[in-house]
Chain A
């Protein structure tokens, strides 16, 4: 009995909420099209807000004693209506023009392609930094996910479609899953998550990272690279396959043998040893 009446009240609240949203949006639209006078718009939108507040009161803040009399519901709705109106006015008159203006200036300065590159670069470096400096090994593994995905994006930027897909498939789909399995198999989660040199990691690691990246970046910028005039963005998968089966045939076969040996070796190393000295026959 109580279940069904609860359900019915819930449905009524939902219907009133939807109707309030419809009235609110419809009145705004009609006012924008010039079909409705300002006073009527304000009244209709106030009615919509009342409906929305009454409907939401059933879901989220159902403790509030919102009633018609004493008039808590109209007053509360009026307060929310005023706040929404002020917010809308602020967004429309102040933030909107400012945002559009500054976005126009910004896009004039920076190309969209550059923005995408910087997004991928920041994602990569932030993921790597999270992997390096996070205290919890699980968080490290998840930051590694972002580093791998960012590197895949950089590959696409460099016109290397096949390595990008291989990166996502092998690193994200294979190696990262393997790492997560190893973490879960080797430690009880929550027992001692801080297996890192806590007193050493941040200062020494930060200094080491700054020194290395400074030196390598100086060399990368200053060296006189022989840049080609027009880098191409053609698909490379066919060329890669031809290269693997003609020029790099021997390394290709050696790599497959290495993979086979590595996987067999991993199975041999990771399995449990069978005790041959057990004296009780089973």
Chain B
């Protein structure tokens, strides 16, 4: 019998979430911010599937269905986000988010 339980997976998810949040907060590169968002979505997915496995019980797949939806939305978000990054780069010739301040003047 293994000693791995639900809290282990929740702690891994918490670490993923906090590291993703740090990435979003500290990066100035727009692509880096998108990578942090991907980490946060992965953390949510780990929690969804862990709860599906340990709390919802055998034969039910609600958590996994939600994780698939999250993956779909992450793919859409990555496509749109990177397209916006490319458009910003064509306009400003940089993707430093501290210099793309056209609306704050």
A residues sitting closer than 8 Å to B (CB atoms) are 111, 113-114, 117, 121, 124-125, 128-129, 131-133, 137, 140-141, 144, 147-148, 151, 154-155, 157-160, 162-163, 166-167, 170-171, 174-175, 178-179, 181-183, 185-187, 195-197, 200-201, 204-206, 208-213, 216-217, 220-221, 225-228, 230-232, 234, 236, 239-240, 243-244, 248, 251, 255, 258-259, 262-263, 265-267, 269-270, 272
Q: Which residue of A lies closest to B58 (CB)?
A: A232
Interface residues in B16-68 by Cβ distance below 8 A to A read 16-23, 25-32, 34-36, 38-39, 42, 45-46, 49-50, 52-59, 61-62, 64-65, 67-68
Number of A-B contacts (CB under 8 A): 258
Give which listed residue, A174, A196, A205, A240, contacts B61 with CB less than 8 A: A240
> A204: shortest Cβ distance to chain B, in Å?
7
A residues near B68, Cβ cutoff 8 Å: 162-163, 166, 240, 244
Q: Is A114 touching B61 in the complex (CB atoms < 8 A)?
A: no
B residues near A232, Cβ cutoff 8 Å: 57-59
**What is the predominant secondary structure among interface residues of chain B facing chain A?**
helix
B residues near A213, Cβ cutoff 8 Å: 11, 14-15, 17-18
> A122: shortest Cβ distance to chain B, in Å?
10
> B17: shortest Cβ distance to chain A, in Å?
7
Report the bound CA distance from A234 to B74 in whole Å.
27
Give which listed residue, B3, B19, B45, B89, contacts A131 with CB less than 8 A: B19
Report the bound CA distance from A121 to B72 in whole Å.
24
Give which listed residue, A121, A129, A151, A239, contacts B42 with CB less than 8 A: A151
- Excluding A197-B26, A234-B58, A262-B80, 18 further A-B contacts by CB distance (< 8 Å) are A128-B39, A137-B29, A137-B32, A144-B35, A144-B38, A144-B39, A171-B71, A179-B35, A183-B31, A196-B29, A209-B19, A216-B17, A231-B53, A232-B58, A236-B61, A244-B65, A244-B68, A262-B75
> B68: shortest Cβ distance to chain A, in Å?
6
**Chain B interfacial residues counted at CB < 8 A:** 75
**What is the predominant secondary structure among interface residues of chain A facing chain B?**
helix
Q: Is A201 touching B19 in the complex (CB atoms < 8 A)?
A: no
13 A–B contacts, CB within 8 A, in A order? A124-B12, A125-B12, A125-B15, A131-B39, A132-B23, A132-B39, A158-B49, A182-B86, A185-B86, A187-B95, A204-B25, A220-B10, A270-B83
Give which listed residue, A181, A216, A255, contacts B10 with CB less than 8 A: A216
Q: Is B75 touching A266 in the complex (CB atoms < 8 A)?
A: no
Q: Annotate B64-105 by CB proximity to A: 1 below 8 A, 0 otherwise.
A: 110111011111111110111111011000011000000000
Q: Which residue of A lies closest to B88 (CB)?
A: A186
Known: A121-B8, A147-B42, A231-B54. A179 touches B78 (CB 8 A): yes
Q: Is A197 touching B28 in the complex (CB atoms < 8 A)?
A: yes
Report the bound CA distance from A166 to B34 in whole Å.
20
Known: A148-B42, A240-B64. A163 touches B14 (CB 8 A): no
Interface centre among B35, B62, B90 (most CB of A within 10 A): B35
> B13: shortest Cβ distance to chain A, in Å?
8
B residues near A131, Cβ cutoff 8 Å: 19, 23, 35-36, 39
Q: Is A221 touching B64 in the complex (CB atoms < 8 A)?
A: no
Q: Which residue of B lies closest to A251 (CB)?
A: B69
Q: Is A263 touching B89 in the complex (CB atoms < 8 A)?
A: no
Known: A113-B2, A208-B18, A225-B55. A255 touches B69 (CB 8 A): yes
